[in-house]
Amino acid sequence: MNLLVVGSVAYDSVQTAHGSVDRALGGSATFFALASSLWARTHIVAVVGDDFRQSDLDRLRQRGVDVSGISQVPGQTFRWGGVYSPHFETRTTLFTELNVFASFNPQIGSVGAAADCVFLANIHPDLQLSVLDQCHRPRFVALDTMNFWISGERPSLERVLRRVDCVFVNDEEAYALSGVANLSLAARRIHAMGPRTVIIKRGEHGAVLFHDGKAQQMPAVILDDVVDPTGAGDSFAGGFMGYVASQPRVDTRVLQTAVVVGTLTASYAVQGFSVDRLETLTIEDLAARHDLLTANLLPSSVDWPSIRSQNRPLAVGVA
Amino acid sequence: MNLLVVGSVAYDSVQTAHGSVDRALGGSATFFALASSLWARTHIVAVVGDDFRQSDLDRLRQRGVDVSGISQVPGQTFRWGGVYSPHFETRTTLFTELNVFASFNPQIGSVGAAADCVFLANIHPDLQLSVLDQCHRPRFVALDTMNFWISGERPSLERVLRRVDCVFVNDEEAYALSGVANLSLAARRIHAMGPRTVIIKRGEHGAVLFHDGKAQQMPAVILDDVVDPTGAGDSFAGGFMGYVASQPRVDTRVLQTAVVVGTLTASYAVQGFSVDRLETLTIEDLAARHDLLTANLLPSSVDWPSIRSQNRPLAVGVA
């Protein structure tokens, strides 16, 4: 099934404890599509400048991404520069040059309109709404957002939330969006705003799927070698949405597996700068890491009956 | 088997989004012992002032804690006051009055010296060393510490680390102690300092057990109602060490289950102010919550072979 992503295609300059890259391929739609294209034909709608390298379009095409919706216009491509603290707890933006992205007005065309699944990356909620207005009843729509829109464009954001199936946010965004400080309560309030599925991205701590009245946790992989966390969230969303788009139906089981796929995808993405690791990712890689992760989860099978029988209440005044 | 804990018994004044308590029973040894006494006879060595309430000693006795090593001396009991931010991300200390704790010089006596398992709560590493010097070859010794000692008393801390089996630290402490910013690498360096077992406490994100060349994760329970996180780490350590002390041998399997017990114990501890919830905790409670947690872990069984067969590489130029 076809998948549409509307977001940014950018050039990033990134410094981490492991090195730096300049004008490296980035942007939400780029990370997303390179992750999702492992599972489903992915159509990007984005805008780039006349400085955008043909070789970067080729890299996307090599992975089967449909780049026909990337329009090239006069001017510079969106650029972002940032530096991560040594332990990756904080990220400081050095510059954001919107360039041609400043006047991005997504036209999704007939291919985009026919998409089965749609991911609205982190752009102005009015643009997200405009995309939805152009779609022909997609069966699954998800969006990403951030505090800038949550605080600054709430009415628009609430309008688009009513029309999506799924939202991806981190803990802080969930609190800001819901106005409550507890994750479960926050998810409940966000459900009430529209999305039946709420996914909390917790970076190195994994993810939580709130769906169908349950909170389900996905631990993250403990990595020796995080190189560059840029794009981790979009890679997660790409793995998730790609898997969903590859399935005939969207049910609880599919969403659960999609969170597993998204988590594993992001764990690889952060092991290289830019999109380097995503470009060579295989389903075999995901399966291998999933085996490793589950082997290292602490025993789900604790023998409580035998523990109870061996540890009768101590001879004290407790009930 | 007997368990010795050496640490603080204190009165805490705590404010959270859920309310406040003043001069409530607290201190590392208190939380620890109320958690561990569910599993093993626990002997506290600590000091309190003449303001310490008899009723608080009774609360400990009620749970089977041996309070004969708590010496009462003229002066005021250690007092701590703090306020948590609404989402519990930060804690601000309002006051710390060491009082009688300032001249604490633990004498563990014959009961303490004979203890099978020993927990050195977060006190000056020289005092931790002095306790070890008084012990008769305990079979399992663990310590807690903090950045104040890691940066200020490193030579002493390194001496005591060489003599313990297990250390409890959080992410930041592990980085500070090891000088490396990655959790796995940090654990490896800490192993090289002495402890064969390194436990990383990650609060609402669970815990990681580094032992025997493996990193094993324990996710935390997602709670609707965190009331007061004070003492969570000591409750974790108490559950862990209590379970270890209850077992005939300390092997990998026992350490794994102990991390599960510690995590579940802490998840209850934070649902009440002070030690309120620990006082009524049962093994049944732990088992019930463990069932809930494992039921809500995302499927460990993803059918990768069938996923692979359904998702053959897309018709693109990828290997």
Domains and CATH numbers, chain A: 3-310 (3.40.1190.20)
Task: Report how far residue B220's alpha carbon sits from residue B269's, in angstroms, rounded to the nearest whole number.
Answer: 13
pLDDT (average), residues A260-271: 97
Quote the mean pLDDT of chain A.
94
Task: Report how far residue B227's alpha carbon sits from residue B19's, in angstroms, rounded to the nearest whole number.
Answer: 8
φ and ψ at residue A74, rounded to 5 degrees = -60, 140
pLDDT value at residue A235: 98
Q: Looking at A164-168, A213-217, B39-43, which range is the least confident one?
A: A213-217
With beta carbons under 8 A apart, name residues in chain A contacting B88: 181
With beta carbons under 8 A apart, name residues in chain A contacting B225: 182
Indicate if the pLDDT at residue B314 is higher than 60.
Answer: no
- pLDDT-derived band at B315 (thresholds 50, 70, 90) equals very low
DSSP bridge pairs for B238: none
3-state secondary structure of A19: strand
Bridge pairing between strands A140-144 and A42-48 = unpaired
Percent of chain A with pLDDT strictly greater than 70? 97
- The alpha-carbon gap from B283 to the nearest alpha carbon of chain A, in Å, equals 7
Task: Report how far residue A29's alpha carbon sits from residue B116's, in angstroms, rounded to the nearest whole number.
Answer: 58
Task: Report how far residue B273's alpha carbon sits from residue B235's, in angstroms, rounded to the nearest whole number.
Answer: 13
CB-nearest partner of B300 from A246, A282, A297:
A297
SS (H, E, C) chain B: CCEEEECCCEEEEEEECCEEEEEEEECHHHHHHHHHCCCCCEEEEEEECCCCCHHHHHHHHHCCCECCCEEECCCCCCEEEEEECCCCCCEEEEEEECHHHHHCCCCCHHHHHCCCEEEECCCCHHHHHHHHHHCCCCCEEEEECCHHHHHHCHHHHHHHHCCCCEEEEEHHHHHHHHCCCCHHHHHHHHHHHCCCEEEEECHHHCEEEEECCEEEEECCCCCCCCCCCCCHHHHHHHHHHHHHHHCCCCCHHHHHHHHHHHHHHHHHHCCCCCCCCHHHCCHHHHHHHHHHHHHCECCCCCCHHHHHHHCCCCCCCCC
- pLDDT-derived band at B313 (thresholds 50, 70, 90) equals low
Task: Report how far residue A57's alpha carbon sits from residue A71's, in angstroms, rounded to the nearest whole number.
Answer: 11
The size of the A-B interface in CB pairs under 8 A is 159
- What residue in A sits closest to B242 (Cα-Cα)? A311
Quote the mean pLDDT of chain B.
94
pLDDT (average), residues B58-77: 97
With beta carbons under 8 A apart, name residues in chain A contacting B296: 214-217
With beta carbons under 8 A apart, name residues in chain A contacting B310: 246
CB-nearest partner of B298 from A216, A282, A314:
A216
Indicate if the pLDDT at residue B47 is higher than 70.
Answer: yes
Indicate if the pLDDT at residue B318 is higher than 70.
Answer: no
> Which residue has 């043909």 as its token pair?
A54
- CB-based contacts of A91, cutoff 8 Å, min separation 6: A82, A83, A84, A85, A229
CB distance A1 to A117 below 8 Å: yes
Q: Looking at A240-244, B40-44, B56-60, B224-228, which range is the least confident one?
A: B224-228
- B298 and A222 within 8 Å at the Cβ level: the answer is no
- Hey, how many other C-beta atoms are within 10 angstroms of the C-beta on B16? 21
Higher pLDDT, A180 or B11: B11
CA B98 from chain centre, in angstroms, equals: 21
- pLDDT-derived band at B52 (thresholds 50, 70, 90) equals very high
- A185 and B287 within 8 Å at the Cβ level: the answer is no
pLDDT (average), residues A156-162: 98
- pLDDT-derived band at A313 (thresholds 50, 70, 90) equals low
CB distance B209 to B216 below 8 Å: yes
- pLDDT, tens digit, for every residue of B168-205? 999 999 999 999 988 999 999 999 999 999 999 998 88
- The alpha-carbon gap from A46 to the nearest alpha carbon of chain B, in Å, equals 21
pLDDT value at residue B306: 86
Q: Looking at A131-140, B131-140, B307-316, which range is the least confident one?
A: B307-316
Indicate if the pLDDT at residue A317 is higher than 50.
Answer: no
Task: Report how far residue A74's alpha carbon sits from residue A94's, in angstroms, rounded to the nearest whole number.
Answer: 24
Q: Name the H helices within chain A.
A: 28-36, 54-62, 109-113, 125-134, 147-152, 154-161, 171-178, 183-192, 232-246, 252-269, 283-295, 304-310
pLDDT value at residue A203: 87
Indicate if the pLDDT at residue B319 is higher than 70.
Answer: no
Percent of chain A with pLDDT strictly greater than 90? 85
Closest to A112 measured CA to CA, from A72, A144, A73, A141: A141
φ and ψ at residue B234, rounded to 5 degrees = -70, -30
- B216 and A38 within 8 Å at the Cβ level: the answer is no
- pLDDT-derived band at B91 (thresholds 50, 70, 90) equals very high
Indicate if the pLDDT at residue B83 is higher than 50.
Answer: yes
- What residue in A sits closest to B253 (Cα-Cα)? A299
pLDDT value at residue A204: 84
Closest to A25 measured CA to CA, from A68, A70, A88, A86: A70
Task: Report how far residue B71's alpha carbon sits from residue B108's, in angstroms, rounded to the nearest whole number.
Answer: 11
- What residue in B sits closest to A211 (Cα-Cα)? B296
With beta carbons under 8 A apart, name residues in chain A contacting B287: 302, 304, 307-308
CB-nearest partner of A219 from B209, B217, B259:
B217
- pLDDT-derived band at B317 (thresholds 50, 70, 90) equals very low
- pLDDT-derived band at A88 (thresholds 50, 70, 90) equals confident
Mutate which: A298, A300, A311, vs B, most B CBs within 10 A: A298
Burial of A94 (0-12, 13-18, 19+ CB in 10 A): exposed
φ and ψ at residue B257, rounded to 5 degrees = -65, -35
C-alpha angle B3/B165/B232, rounded to 5°? 60
CB distance A36 to A238 below 8 Å: yes
pLDDT value at residue A312: 61
Render the burial of A199-217: b for 16+ CB within 10 Å, e for the rest.
Answer: bbbbbbbbbbbbbeeebbb
pTM summary value: 0.88
Indicate if the pLDDT at residue B66 is higher than 80.
Answer: yes
Closest to B173 measured CA to CA, from B204, B141, B198, B205: B198
- pLDDT-derived band at A299 (thresholds 50, 70, 90) equals confident
- The alpha-carbon gap from B258 to the nearest alpha carbon of chain A, in Å, equals 10
Task: Report how far residue A9's alpha carbon sits from residue A46's, in angstroms, rounded to the nearest whole number.
Answer: 6
**Measured distance between the N- and C-terminal CA atoms of chain B, rounded to whole angstroms:** 59
CB distance A175 to B87 below 8 Å: yes
Indicate if the pLDDT at residue B316 is higher than 50.
Answer: no
Closest to A258 measured CA to CA, from A81, A113, A117: A117
**Widest Cα–Cα separation across chain B:** 82
CB-nearest partner of A296 from B87, B216, B310:
B216
pLDDT (average), residues A7-27: 97
- pLDDT-derived band at B13 (thresholds 50, 70, 90) equals very high
Q: Looking at A78-82, A182-186, A257-261, which range is the least confident one?
A: A182-186
pLDDT value at residue A302: 87
Render the burial of B226-237: b for 16+ CB within 10 Å, e for the rest.
Answer: bbbbbbbbbbbb
- The alpha-carbon gap from B182 to the nearest alpha carbon of chain A, in Å, equals 6
Higher pLDDT, B263 or B307: B263
